[in-house]
């Protein structure tokens, strides 16, 4: 996903980078005159929902909460740092400023300022923002932080789906059509991730209560499904029965993705012209994201003798990721991998599941580094099948869930590609059919 976004962003933003003096007008993430200043609360609260229904009749529809994937939540930053990578990088933001997605920060050289703000520190087996940095997601509880990846909506994400659901009589953004964005740099079992899961539970309970005790539908995309699997592990069967109506899993990366290996070894910059961005610079912040490690292929799906990485001096299987990271010059990776113990993403959610994903699209299955290329240069990619980002076997983990009600597959790039699937009218209609209970599921195969 990141490589597609960056290639589009950089090609658009590079035209605005005329010379180095222009860089001084850029505030590590946005032009000062266009800097996003938070003028409203950063949380769409239960009070807003109650206020709405105090003057409107509560409709007989089940509320919907959307959970985005990695890089699917808008992030804001506030910083006061003592160092910066270049003289034109501002050490102080002055106010909350857009971090993701900001087109202006993706131009050559300036991207280094942005990378420095996005990096996480890993100390004492814990991830945290860099010294002097604060970050937050935008509009938790509303949909403003996930409809588009940027605040001007040049790059829509969930917007098409939100627009269609909001057009159904009874659904209102921020009231019974809500979202739970998160800081996608962290895994669910980090301190930040655990706070998010607690807030997600509160959001579900608030939404249920404020909407006349109507059960909630959860719709997740990509890594958002991993977060939901972790969430369901932490709530009881009776809680699920009370609060959850249906869980729609779209393009779930349940068993990991081989593509994440390239991000950690050499940086994920496929399709981006090298004149615009240095792969090693991108790698420097990708290696500090706990979530990238969370997306590595799972041992339950890849066999012990299945080689995923061919390097000049050694080959690596799913059991040798720690060695791979150390051999590629990042010994901290071994300790980071240990932070993911107990967070495998393959557990049964214990709720009614409707699974949707793409298929039959060339997807990275192995990487081969030529002599002299490992680890600082890009490898040769050997493809298998998947949705262009997630491997087929990972997407299909949902078929093992005991309460899977329906399984919809959309083959081909146009219909089922990992990001394109959210724009597919048939997929959007299917989601609507499920949440409005007009979809034909597999009720004859129910297992309780």
Other beta carbons less than 10 A from residue 155's beta carbon: 16
Other beta carbons less than 10 A from residue 350's beta carbon: 19
Among residues 36, 41, 17, which one has the least CA distance to residue 75? 36
Rounded-to-integer distance, Cα 312 and Cα 233, Å: 41
Rounded-to-integer distance, Cα 45 and Cα 63, Å: 15
Residue pair 26/105 in contact by the 8 Å Cβ criterion: yes
Query: Out of 7, 93, 105, 222, which one is annotated catalytic?
Result: 222
Among residues 385, 308, 303, 301, which one has the least CA distance to residue 344? 301
Rounded-to-integer distance, Cα 159 and Cα 423, Å: 9
Bridge pairing between strands 361-368 and 309-310: parallel
Catalytic site residue 357? no
354: which strand partners?
Answer: 248, 406
Catalytic site residue 222? yes
Catalytic site residue 348? no
Peptide bond preceding 397 in cis form (omega within 30 of 0)? no
Residue pair 290/120 in contact by the 8 Å Cβ criterion: yes
Query: Out of 221, 357, 415, 418, which one is annotated catalytic?
Result: 418
Query: Out of 112, 116, 387, 406, which one is annotated catalytic?
Result: 387
Find tokens 């009370």 and name the residue.
Answer: 242
Which residues have a catalytic role annotated? 222, 387, 418
């Amino acid at each position: 996903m990141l490589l597609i976004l960056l290639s589009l962003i950089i090609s658009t933003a590079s035209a605005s980078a005329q010379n180095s003096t222009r860089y001084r007008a850029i505030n590590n993430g946005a032009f000062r005159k266009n800097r996003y200043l938070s003028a409203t609360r950063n949380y769409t609260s239960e009070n807003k929902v109650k206020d709405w229904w105090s003057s409107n009749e509560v409709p007989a529809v089940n509320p919907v909460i959307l959970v985005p994937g990695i890089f699917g939540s808008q992030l804001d930053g506030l910083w006061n740092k003592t160092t910066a990578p270049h003289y034109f990088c501002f050490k102080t933001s002055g106010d909350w400023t857009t971090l993701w997605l900001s087109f202006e920060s993706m131009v050559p050289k300036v991207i280094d300022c942005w990378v420095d703000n996005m990096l996480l520190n890993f100390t004492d087996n814990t991830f945290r923002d860099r010294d002097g940095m604060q970050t937050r997601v935008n509009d938790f509880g509303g949909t403003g932080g996930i409809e588009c990846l940027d605040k001007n909506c040049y790059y829509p994400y969930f917007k098409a789906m939100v627009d269609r659901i909001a057009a159904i009589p009874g659904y209102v953004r921020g009231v019974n059509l809500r979202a739970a964005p998160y800081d996608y740099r962290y895994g669910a079992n980090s301190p930040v991730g655990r706070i998010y899961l607690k807030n997600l539970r509160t959001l579900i309970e608030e939404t249920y209560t404020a909407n006349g005790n109507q059960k909630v539908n959860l719709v997740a995309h990509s890594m958002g499904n991993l977060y939901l699997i972790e969430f369901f592990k932490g709530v009881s069967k009776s809680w699920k029965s009370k609060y959850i109506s249906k869980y729609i899993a779209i393009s779930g990366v349940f068993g990991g993705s081989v593509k994440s290996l390239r991000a950690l070894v050499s940086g994920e910059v496929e399709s981006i012209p090298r004149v615009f961005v240095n792969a090693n610079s991108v790698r420097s912040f990708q290696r500090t994201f706990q979530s990238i490690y969370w997306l590595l292929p799972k041992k339950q799906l890849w066999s012990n003798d299945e080689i995923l990485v061919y390097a000049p001096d050694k080959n690596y299987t799913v059991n040798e990721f720690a060695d791979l990271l150390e051999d590629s010059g990042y010994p901290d990776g071994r300790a980071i991998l240990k932070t993911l113990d107990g967070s495998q993403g393959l557990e049964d959610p214990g709720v009614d599941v409707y699974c949707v994903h793409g298929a039959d699209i060339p997807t990275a299955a192995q990487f081969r580094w030529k002599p002299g290329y490992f680890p600082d240069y890009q490898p040769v990619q050997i493809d298998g099948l998947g949705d262009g980002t997630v491997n087929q076997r990972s997407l299909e983990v949902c078929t093992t869930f005991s309460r899977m009600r329906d399984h919809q597959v959309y083959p081909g790039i146009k219909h089922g590609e990992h990001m394109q699937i959210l724009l597919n009218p048939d997929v959007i209609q299917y989601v609507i059919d499920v949440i409005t209970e007009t979809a034909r599921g597999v009720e004859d195969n129910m297992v309780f």
